[in-house]
């Protein structure tokens, strides 16, 4: 069970196909009910991948914060991350119960995947020509808040929003994942308040975390290659096929 969920998490966390949606589907159809601590461990694994992949940018941002240098590129990026985190936090707080109820609704996941596919497809139709600004950060942060809904891809929606705003692809990609750091930390803290270890031992949890980290890192590199190679919209076809299959199956079940 742990390896299955860890691989699913690792593959789908970074590729724009919604890890939460796929976990809902796998857990629903295979009747898997892992304890809450497993979700927390996966969040930690997710955070570690971002820290490893973007450690140079994170160090530069921290140095700029220490110097209170908000005119430098890294200082501006720190402010953009703060601005983008606000709508995510507000939406997560206000709509927590609604979002949580959708984690048990496979039909809603299928519908959300169709929505994700639409955003991915239209995102390639805009030319990347501008630098990130505060309005872009606010809109991308709002997209990240919407992506709490299972079936809506966080990476997919945030990168697509940046691209639709005309932000350079490399910048949209980097900002999307740096913006995820406070969101992942916040999610882990919230989930930890009701933490129950359950029947899983530490070696099992460690295996799940390491597996999701390794697979996740590879998936992150694949996503970067797809974004920069103007292949990002191709993930839309997978989302449409998966979403339509789930919706039809649920309707006729």
Q: What's the number of domains the chain is made of?
A: 1
In this predicted structure, which of 45-49, 69-73, 224-228 has the lowest mean pLDDT? 45-49
What is the mean predicted confidence (pLDDT) over 88-102?
87
Per cent of the chain over pLDDT 70 is 89
Q: Which of 86, 70, 73 is nearest to 174 (CA)?
A: 73
What is the mean predicted confidence (pLDDT) over 183-187?
82
- Per-residue pLDDT of 97-108, as tens digits, reads 888 788 778 899
* C-alpha neighbours within 13 Å on the C-beta side of residue 243: 23
More confident residue, 174 or 199: 174
Query: What rounded mean pLDDT belongs to the chain?
Result: 85
- In whole angstroms, give the CA distance from residue 80 to residue 74: 10
In this predicted structure, which of 31-40, 41-50, 155-164, 220-229 has the lowest mean pLDDT? 31-40
Residue 177, classed as helix, strand or coil, is helix
Structural domain boundaries enclosing 36? 2-252
- In whole angstroms, give the CA distance from residue 161 to residue 141: 9
């Amino acid at each position: 069970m742990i390896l299955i969920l860890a691989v699913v998490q690792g593959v789908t966390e970074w590729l724009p196909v919604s890890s939460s949606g796929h976990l809902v589907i796998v857990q629903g159809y295979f009747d898997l009910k892992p304890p809450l601590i497993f979700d927390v461990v996966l969040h930690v694994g997710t955070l570690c991948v971002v820290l490893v992949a973007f450690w140079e940018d994170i160090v530069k941002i921290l140095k700029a914060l220490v110097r209170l240098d908000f005119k430098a590129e890294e200082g501006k990026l720190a402010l953009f991350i703060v601005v983008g985190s606000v709508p995510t936090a507000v939406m997560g707080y206000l709509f927590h119960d609604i979002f949580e109820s959708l984690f048990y609704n496979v039909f809603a996941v299928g519908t959300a995947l169709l929505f994700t596919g639409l955003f991915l497809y239209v995102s390639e139709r805009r030319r990347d020509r501008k630098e990130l600004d505060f309005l872009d950060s606010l809109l991308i942060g709002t997209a990240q808040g919407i992506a709490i809904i299972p079936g809506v891809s966080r990476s997919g929606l945030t990168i697509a929003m940046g691209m639709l705003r005309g932000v350079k692809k490399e910048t949209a990609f980097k900002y999307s994942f740096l913006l995820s750091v406070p969101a992942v930390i916040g999610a882990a803290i919230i989930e930890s308040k009701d933490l129950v270890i359950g029947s899983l031992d530490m070696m099992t949890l460690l295996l799940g975390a390491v597996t999701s980290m390794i697979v996740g890192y590879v998936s992150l590199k694949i996503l970067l290659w797809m974004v920069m190679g103007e292949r990002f919209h191709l993930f839309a076809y997978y989302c449409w096929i998966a979403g339509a299959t789930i919706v039809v199956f649920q309707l006729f079940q």
